Amino acid sequence: MTLHRLTLFPPPSHLLRYGLKGLSLCLIIFFCCTVSLAADSQPSAGDLMQRGRAAAREGSYEEALLAWKAAAELYDQAGETKNHIQALTQSAFAARTLGHINQAFLQEELALHLARQLRDSQWLVITLSELGKTYVTNHQYEVAADYIGQALEIAQAQSFRALSPALQNDLGIVLALQGRPEEALAAFHQCAVSAKQEGLIPLFIRARVNAARMAIQVAQFDTATSALAEAADQLAGSASSYEKAEGLVNLALGYRDLALAHSGSHASALKRSALFLQEAAGMTQHPGDARLASYVYGHLGHLYEVERRFDEALQLTRQAVFTAQSARAPESLYRWQWQSGRLLNRLGQLDDALSAYQEAAITLHPIRSEVTFAVQTSPDSHQPSIRALYFELADLLLRRAALMHENREAEAYLRAARDVIEAFKAAELRDYFRDDCVDQMQARITKLDALSPSTAIIYPIVFSDRTELLVSLPDGLTRHSVPVTAATLTDEVRRFRHTLEKRTTREYLPHAQQLYDWLIRPLDPDLRRLKVNTLVFVPDGSLRTIPMSALHDGKQFLIEHYAVAMSPGLDLTDPQPIDRAKVHLLSSGLTKAVQGFPPLPHVADELDSIRALFKGEQLIDQEFLTPRLEEELKGGRYSILHIATHGQFAPDVNQSFLLTFDARLSMTQLERLVGLFRFRREPLELLTLSACQTGSGDDRAALGLAGIAVKAGARSALATLWSINDDASSELVSEFYRQLHDASVSKARALQHAQLKLLSDRVYEHPAYWAAFLLLNNWL
């Protein structure tokens, strides 16, 4: 259910009309085209504001952001506080649109501070509301609800009659995103009542459609039908206009959702949806309407696709592609190119389908960040995810490879399929951390599979109907298709992870062997033939949550045959061996019980054993404070940072932390501290996080664990999937560093030796003690 007014077809003119008035939660899919800012050598602030609006109308939000930021500086210098607030709010909106969330927060916090100083209630409402929207984009819904609630309270107290209904709509959206459908439904109802009283008919229609979608979610189909009928009646009496066409499309999508959710309403609701789209098509015949027209034809094509009338659907979808191209609307264009590919595939035209998918991916690439932020904050169950595009394209490439007679031709398609998933992995990590740190990392890497002749890179791609294994070997890229579905694989992975942590049983063994049979056994002949000694996994989804080292062939664990490492992506690793002669260590940790967490008494021995091998400094207990850590990292030329403390990686990066003596170090703070090394010639070689944990079912949490080295700018990370016995952890980590002291031993081999040492000890032979440790990214 799409609750955001403009999520599916955002006309920029409405953004400018309503963006500062709070008339909708503008989480919009945007597009980027070029609008020149070059004009007067010294434009005025007013000129810059106009240029920003012009750029925004064209969808060029980078240009708009530059113009509005420059205007904000000029207004600040001139002491024009209200205009300064407006420019800050506009530039924050553009930054939010582009996915630059931290920048948006900074600008909005300043705007809110100025509004409070000015004691201007209207600007206070606007700045509180906009800050709330940015928290929505950042998935911090509770905080967002608080800010929007504050704005609504002030608006109602001050009788801001145009603002209050819009804020009720915004609050309903946040409640929906929080999974509180009944409360959201009430908020949308109140918005509709208030909007109708104030004569805000477009807002009334949006609120009724939003209410219908919430009612559909809770299976109140009569309520949904009634809400849609009210919106339809209101629209029927209005004159033809662009705004009416926009309302018709929203209404059509509401009926589409009803048709797909309620079998009893399917035929009638689908017919009404098509009729409203056809009516909207008649109102979008002018050149300036092409952008909205592309959505009209595209959604109409989708209705025909639902009815399996693929030829007619393709004809309409091609019309949507043409109108999106004429409107220079890539956020619309990629969707209809994708839909074309899907339809061509259904019609058996594989090569044409592949071309359409590739065009969609190319169109999406420069705007992927904006699209992803909009999709992530929209609870529309029928809005396709970005992941689906990448995986459907990879599927087509693999199918095309299977038709090739020559290995060389097939390998080209295999590499292309892997590159598509690689692009998705980089985007996924970027979205998890919500910044472009991944792009900075990718600018200086070497292809992982172009290196060590004794290393195999195993790249699983998990589809709904099967699992593909792409394996980079010293003599080329091979493919193994395993007939295990995503659901079956995920279930087995969850069982393995759950039983693996039970130290007193061997319940994990059947699952360890089953996963070995699926993921490793097909590769055994090639691995043995080529005398491979190191396996680097680039896992997807649930596979991120398990240690591959604990897979079992029926006789031995995988770690007994191979050193094992993991990477979030081929293009996210900087594989360089560590220069032992230049190692300078900063070790830190907690031994005492603090902030409700238990003591880690063996950490002291762990840190002492490491210091005996590598020169450096130590921060322990009362000295392990964030300011002191920052001071050391700024002043010392450390190549290894070792942190032994409690920590947690959560599905939301905002909930992930490492424990210091008196506080919790967030991932953002850690990135900022370790990121100091980005500006040095030599980056941080190794970041060790001992005693941390990741939830067994949290794929996104494991993504954060795997990505922390990339985020922090470190070449490698050694971290744990779960908290393990303090004594065992100390012994394993100490042995890892002893092995690492030998220049002939890679990091992966050092970890292998350390894990085998514990495995050989009857006290610690259970994998719960040694398998939790993962070597991430650079294994050399």
What is the number of other CB atoms lying within 10 angstroms of the CB of residue 281? 20
* Residue-level pLDDT at 366: 81
Tens-place pLDDT, residues 671-717:
777 766 655 667 788 989 886 776 555 666 565 665 666 666 678 88
Tens-place pLDDT, residues 425-463:
877 777 766 555 555 544 444 555 555 789 999 999 999
Residue pair 504/539 in contact (Cβ under 8 Å)? The answer is no
Confidence of residue 237 (pLDDT cuts 50, 70, 90): confident
The b-or-e profile of 295-325 (16+ CB within 10 A means b, else e) is bbbbbbbbbbbbeeebeebbebbbbbbbbbb
* pLDDT(379) > 70: no
Residue pair 532/563 in contact (Cβ under 8 Å)? The answer is no
CA distances from 595 to 41, 607, 646, 730 (A): 57, 22, 10, 22
Which residues sit opposite 597 in a β-bridge?
594
Sign of the alpha-carbon dihedral angle for 270, 273, 275, 277: negative
Confidence of residue 10 (pLDDT cuts 50, 70, 90): very low
* pLDDT(39) > 90: no
* Residue-level pLDDT at 137: 84
* Residue-level pLDDT at 352: 97
CA-based R_g, the chain, Å: 28
The b-or-e profile of 165-195 (16+ CB within 10 A means b, else e) is bbbbbbbbbbbbbeebbebbbbbbbbbbebb
* pLDDT(747) > 90: yes
Quickly tell me which residue has 């054993």 as its tokens.
609
Backbone angles phi, psi at 726, to 5 degrees: -60, -40
Tens-place pLDDT, residues 606-650:
999 999 999 999 999 999 998 999 888 887 688 999 999 988 877
* Residue-level pLDDT at 680: 62
Q: What does the alpha-carbon distance between residue 321 and residue 592 come to, in Å, rounded to a whole number?
A: 63
* pLDDT(651) > 80: no
Alpha helices in 530-681 (DSSP H): 603-611, 626-635, 667-674
Tens-place pLDDT, residues 148-161:
999 999 999 999 98
* Residue-level pLDDT at 38: 41
CA distances from 496 to 48, 248, 767 (A): 59, 50, 11
Q: Which three-class secondary structure state does DSSP give residue 372? A: helix
Tens-place pLDDT, residues 49-105:
999 998 887 767 889 999 999 999 999 999 999 999 999 999 999 998 887 888 999
Q: Residue 593 gets which letter from DSSP?
A: -
* Residue-level pLDDT at 355: 97
Residue pair 741/614 in contact (Cβ under 8 Å)? The answer is yes
Tens-place pLDDT, residues 314-336:
999 999 999 999 988 888 999 99
Q: Which of 12-21, 39-48, 495-504, 703-712 has the lowest mean pLDDT?
A: 12-21
Residue 728, both tokens: 């065992």
* pLDDT(7) > 90: no
Residue pair 423/461 in contact (Cβ under 8 Å)? The answer is no
* Residue-level pLDDT at 374: 66
What integer is the mean pLDDT of 723-736?
90
Secondary structure (DSSP) of 474-510: TTEEEEEEE---HHHHHHHHHHHHHHHT-TT--TTHH
Residue 188, both tokens: 């949308």
More confidently predicted of 321 and 138: 321
Q: Which of 147, 196, 202 is nearest to 174 (CA)?
A: 147
Q: Which of 160-169, 564-573, 654-663 has the lowest mean pLDDT?
A: 564-573
Confidence of residue 254 (pLDDT cuts 50, 70, 90): very high
Residue 398, both tokens: 């693999």
Confidence of residue 421 (pLDDT cuts 50, 70, 90): very high
Q: What does the alpha-carbon distance between residue 490 and residue 494 come to, in Å, rounded to a whole number?
A: 6
What integer is the mean pLDDT of 580-595?
92
The Cα angle at residue 467 between residues 461 and 470, in degrees rounded to 5: 50
Quickly tell me which residue has 């993962």 as its tokens.
774
One-letter amino acid for residue 57 of the chain:
R
Tens-place pLDDT, residues 464-523:
999 999 999 988 899 999 999 999 999 999 999 999 999 999 999 999 999 999 999 999
Residue pair 408/386 in contact (Cβ under 8 Å)? The answer is no
What is the number of other CB atoms lying within 10 angstroms of the CB of residue 197? 11
What integer is the mean pLDDT of 420-425?
89
* pLDDT(23) > 70: no
Confidence of residue 669 (pLDDT cuts 50, 70, 90): confident
* Residue-level pLDDT at 5: 33
Confidence of residue 725 (pLDDT cuts 50, 70, 90): confident
What integer is the mean pLDDT of 251-269?
96
* Residue-level pLDDT at 588: 95
- Beta-strand pair 640-649/585-589: parallel
* Residue-level pLDDT at 13: 29
* Residue-level pLDDT at 191: 96
Sign of the alpha-carbon dihedral angle for 738, 743, 747, 750: negative
Q: What does the alpha-carbon distance between residue 296 and residue 289 come to, in Å, rounded to a whole number?
A: 11
The b-or-e profile of 705-735 (16+ CB within 10 A means b, else e) is bbbbbbbbbbbbbbbbbbbbbbebbbbbbbb
Confidence of residue 33 (pLDDT cuts 50, 70, 90): very low
Average pLDDT value for the chain: 86
Q: Residues of the chain with pLDDT > 90: what percent? A: 65
* pLDDT(20) > 50: no
Q: What does the alpha-carbon distance between residue 668 and residue 687 come to, in Å, rounded to a whole number?
A: 15
* pLDDT(598) > 80: yes
* Residue-level pLDDT at 9: 31
Sign of the alpha-carbon dihedral angle for 65, 70, 73, 79: negative
More confidently predicted of 725 and 172: 172
* Residue-level pLDDT at 569: 81
